Amino acid sequence: MCKRKMIFPIWKSVLLLKKVWNKPKDAWRHSCQHQHWLQGAASLIALSYTCLSAATLLPGFTESLVANLPSATAMEFAPDGRLFVCLQGGDVRVIKNGALLTTPFVTVSAYAGADSGLLGIAFDPNFVTNGYVYLHYTATVPTIHNRVSHVTASGDIAVPGSEVSILDLPTATNPGSHKGGAIHFGTDGKLYVTEGDDRVPSSSQDIMDLRGKLLRINPDGTIPADNPFGASNAVWALGLRNPFTFVVQSSTGRILINDVGESTWEEIDDGIAGANYGWPNCEGPYQFGTSNPCTGYTNPIFWYGHGAGDTVGCSIVGGAFYNPATVTFPSDYVGKYFFADLCQGWIRRFDPSTGIATGFATGISSPVDLKVASDGSLYYLIYGTGGGVYRIRYSPVFFASGNLEATSGPLNICPGMAFYEEYCSFISCADAINWTSLLAHQQFPSCFFEDTSGVACDVRSSCP
């Protein structure tokens, strides 16, 4: 049997100088793994080293830089394929036909402190006819508070003066922290918005307080009559801490919420009507600060602990179901949910039907958002002064086709390459020494032929 081994080229080298704030916890306030934290009497000071971003991907996947964008926080595809990217300070930038346009789509006056700022963007279901683009940001006038508004697009630029506010929260208690931020339309045509607890944990359990909630409103800001807590209440679900990101599955309408934890657990919650996820009484599936089960609340469907490694972290972000118009990833990715951790810099895929998450990518510096494009590729967004948009595609390199014959000699298709990969339903692994393929009618859908030269090669053969 051949030995499985992953050997990956370095596709990019990006120097990231991180800006950090007074506590290494929520959303993009986490920095790279090479930071040292010095705590003084009144403040935390971060000494930030230059970080190298080089994603390690599974075999067959490659990535490329789409655009460099500093302090990017969220992104969304328009119906026509343009990618709109939010910057924390209030700019919305447009990537069109693979190129970053020079002029911002719009600039709003956003308070860009800690994890506040311009945090979310969504397109009206009737965007083609009305041109409405919805924004969720921390406004500065008349006081610092979260606002949902829409502007009207005219080509690649918003119509000047077209902003209409449809939801304004009260003045923030803590202007810079726990603002939530994501905004998406559901398949029901309603607008869903996540709000953090504003660092007032008790607000999450107050049904008359919009903080620490998933909200549901009509596109004009009015409240749907069928909301779970009545026609005068925008709350759809409660008990959240800092739900920086969430996603709506287009094929089912299912909502999954990524809620950033306090000290022990990160969680994915099912965004169902009337749910109470328990914060601040619960974190993950446990009573806060204990290992005792949390009862009487809606437990998360997935959670992971804090720490260093490829399965733990400290700030869950991203969120994208793999249900594109054109499937280009392997078929077993369809319906899976991608999510990421900002601290540890990985992307994992979660199977909602089994509750199991598996690794997908590591070594990413401060990911904050994920999106699946209609062409089947996965985009991820990096925060920081050296941040930007990256695209991951599945594109194994074809060096040979046709049936591979059994032979006693070396398979010299790619001389000096490190390993070969065969995608044949009924073919045995090749001999690792001679690189030969032995037809033995054994099922090995993916085998790696290892050598020591340190360069990767992928061979795909067609089997009858």
User: Consecutive 10-residue runs of the chain (464 residues): their mean pLDDT?
Assistant: 26 26 41 28 25 76 96 98 98 98 99 95 98 99 98 99 98 95 98 98 98 99 98 98 98 98 98 99 96 97 98 96 97 97 98 98 97 98 93 70 40 37 35 35 35 36 32
Number of domains in the chain: 2
Q: Is the residue at 461 inside a domain?
A: yes
Residue 439 placed within a domain: yes
Position 395 scores a pLDDT of: 81
> Is there a single domain that holds both residue 380 and residue 413?
no
Examine the domain organization and report whether 312 and 402 are in the same domain. Answer: no
- Among 394, 418, 434, identify where a domain stops: 394
| 363 and 416 inside one domain | no
Same domain flag for 381 and 457 = no
- Does one domain contain both 187 and 205? yes
- Owning domain of residue 462: 398-464
2, part of any domain: no
Do 51 and 97 share a structural domain? yes
Q: Does 347 share its domain with 417?
A: no
Mark which of 366, 394, 422 sits at the end of a domain: 394
Distance between CA 229 and CA 254 in Å, rounded?
20
Q: The domain spanning residue 272 has which CATH number?
A: 2.120.10.30
Residues 281 and 423 in one domain: no
pLDDT tens string 4-42: 222 222 222 222 222 333 333 454 444 333 332 222 222
- With respect to residue 345, please indicate whether it lies within any of the assigned structural domains: yes
Judge whether 6 lies within some domain.
no
Residue 159 resides in a domain: yes
Residue 5 lies inside a defined structural domain of this protein: no
Q: Quick one: pLDDT at residue 448? A: 38
The 10 Å CB-count burial string (b at 16+, else e) for 427-458 is: bbbbbbeebbbbeeeeebeebbbbbeeeebbb
Q: How far, in Å, are 57, 341, 345, 379 from residue 26 at the CA level?
A: 26, 11, 14, 22
Pairwise CA distance, residues 89 & 190, whole Å: 27
Is the domain of 265 the same as that of 385? yes
**319 in the same domain as 215:** yes
Residue 365 lies in a domain: yes
Q: Which of 340, 364, 394 is a domain's end point?
A: 394
Query: Are residues 432 and 306 part of one domain?
Result: no
Q: Are residues 255 and 343 in the same domain?
A: yes
